[in-house]
Structure formats: structure tokens, C-alpha cells
Amino acid sequence: MALDRELVGRSYPPSAVYEVGRAKIAEFATAIGDPSPVHRDPEAARAAGHPDVIAPPTFAIAVSLEAAMVVLDDPDVAIDYGRVVHGEQRFAHHRPIRAGDRLVATTTIDAARTVAGNDLLTARVDLATEDGEPVCTATSMLVARA
């Protein structure tokens, strides 16, 4: 089923707050084998100029991909979740995500097209603090194979 171009520009209500914890950052850093103390030790992070431990750059996906699922739950988006694979990913960091951040995700459909029967859907997730400070823009291109 072809994706409707009218979907482009559609935005969804902000997500619930995701509170970033030190232990979750350390767990993620360990999972990707990153030994940097700025992911684990608040003193080391402060010495490097950060208010608290910072997350590795791709940690944003743990918040953004969940938020982007709002698109697949939209009844107007006729793609089959079971056929979806991750085609492309992009991050633009306004500043590092850090422990204590209370993040809100706002998802927008940036592109929707059908190529050779494959549905390509680009979801942009803007992560900001509860107070509105921009933190990261995470853009995921999802492919539903024909």
C-alpha cells in the first residue's frame, strides 16, 4: 500500500517525560564498549565541563526510536510494522544528553514515499528538555519492504 504524501509535515503530540539516569547512561556506555569516565563518573564529567555524566552520542536512540513509534501507531500510516527495517539514522546534537535531563520527544513526519513497492518513511524526533531547551534532533528513515 502506497504511503500518502499528505502525511508529510504531520506532527504528533509531545511524549511523556523521559528522565535520563546515570545508571542507564553507564549501562549503555558499557554495552557499546566505551570506557570513557565522562559516561560514569560525575567528577570526571564536571572536569570536562559538563554538569553531570553525559551520554554517548547514539544514546539518543533509546529515547527517540520509542517516540517515533507513534507514527506506526497512526491509523493513516498504512505500513506493516512486521516488515519495517531501519534504513538510515541521523543525529544532530545541540548539546550532549546528560544525567538528570527530563526529555520530551516531539515526532514529525519529514518524508513519506513509495519506491519500487517499498514504503520509505522518515520520522524526525526533536528531543528537548521539559523547559524547551533543544538537545538533539534524531531522524530515522524506516523502510517497509514490499
Partner 1 sequence: MTAVRFADVAVGTELPEQRYRITRADLVRYAGASGDFNPIHWNERVATEVGLPGVIAHGMFTMALAGRAVTDWAGDPAALVEYQVRFGRPVVVPDDDEGAELTVRGTVAALLEDGRVRVDLAVGSAGEKVLSLARAVVRLA
Binding site for partner 1 (CB under 8 A): 24, 27-28, 30-34, 36, 38-39, 48, 50, 54, 56-58, 61-62, 65-66, 85-93, 95-96
Q: Would you say 62 or 72 has its CB closer to partner 1?
A: 62
Radius of gyration of the chain (CA): 17
In the numeric block, which cell numbers belong to residue 4? 500518502
- Closest approach of Cβ 6 to partner 1, in Å? 26
Q: Around Cβ 136, how many Cβ atoms within 10 Å?
A: 25
In the numeric block, which cell numbers belong to residue 94? 545541540
Side chain identity, residue 112: A
Q: Would you say 54 or 127 has its CB closer to partner 1?
A: 54
Q: Would you say 4 or 47 has its CB closer to partner 1?
A: 47
**Alpha carbon 126 to its chain's center:** 8
- Closest approach of Cβ 24 to partner 1, in Å? 8
Question: Is 89:55 a contact under the CB 8 Å cutoff?
Answer: no
Q: Would you say 39 or 112 has its CB closer to partner 1?
A: 39
Going by C-alpha positions, the residue among 100, 114, 99, 108 that lies closest to residue 138 is: 108
